[in-house]
Structure 1
Amino acid sequence: MTTRRLALLFPLVALGACTTPGADLPALPDAERTAYRLGPEDEVRVTVFNDPRLTGEFKISDAGVLALPLVGSIQAGGRTVPEVEREIEAVMARRNLFRDPEVAVNVIEYRPVFVLGQVERGGSYPYQPGMTALSAVAVAGGFNYRALRDYVSVTRVGEDGRAREFRANSRALLQPGDVVTVFERRF
Structure 2
Amino acid sequence: MVTRALIAIGLAFLVSACSGYRQPPTAFHDILTQPYRLDTSDQLRVIVFGQTDLSNTYTIDQAGYISMPLVGAVPARGMTQQELAKEIEKRLRNGYLRDPDVSVEVDTYRPIFVLGEVTSAGQYPYVAGMTAQNAVATAGGFTARATQSSIDITRQINGEIISGRVPITDPIRPGDTIYVRERFF
Regarding TM over 0.5, the answer is yes
Give the letter aligned to residue 181 of structure 1. Answer: Y
Residue correspondences, number? 181
| Runs of 4+ deviating beyond 3 Å | 11-22, 24-28
Distance, in Å, in 1 between the alignment partners of 2:173 and 2:63 is 19
1:145 maps to 2:150: no
Of stretches 46-55 and 109-118 in structure 1, the one that deviates more from structure 2 is 46-55
How far residue 24 of structure 1 moved from its aligned partner, in angstroms, is 3.6
Give CA deviations for 1:95-148 in whole Å, capped at 9, x if unaligned.
2x2111111111111111110001111111111111111111110111111110
Distance, in Å, in 1 between the alignment partners of 2:22 and 2:36 is 30
Distance, in Å, in 1 between the alignment partners of 2:127 and 2:150 is 21
> Which residue pairs with 2:90 in the alignment?
90
Q: 1:15 to 1:87 in 2, by over 3 A?
A: closer
> Which residue pairs with 2:38 in the alignment?
38
Contact 1:20 1:185 survives alignment (8 Å): no
How far residue 31 of structure 1 moved from its aligned partner, in angstroms, is 5.1
User: Highest Rg: 1 or 2?
Assistant: 1
Q: 1:119 to 1:129 in 2, by over 3 A?
A: same
Contact 1:30 1:172 survives alignment (8 Å): no
Alignment TM-score, normalising by the size of structure 1: 0.86
Distance, in Å, in 1 between the alignment partners of 2:20 and 2:31 is 20
1:78 maps to 2:78: yes
How far residue 45 of structure 1 moved from its aligned partner, in angstroms, is 1.2
How far residue 32 of structure 1 moved from its aligned partner, in angstroms, is 3.5
Q: 1:112 to 1:21 in 2, by over 3 A?
A: farther
**Long gaps (5+) in structure 1:** none
> Which residue pairs with 1:55 in the alignment?
55
Identity %: 39
> Which residue pairs with 1:64 in the alignment?
64
> Which residue pairs with 2:21 in the alignment?
23
Give CA deviations for 1:159-185 in whole Å, capped at 9, x if unaligned.
0x2212101112211111111100100
Cα RMSD between the aligned structures?
A: 2.4
Q: 1:14 to 1:130 in 2, by over 3 A?
A: same
Q: 1:54 to 1:133 in 2, by over 3 A?
A: same
How far residue 16 of structure 1 moved from its aligned partner, in angstroms, is 3.4
Give the letter aligned to residue 171 of structure 2. Answer: L
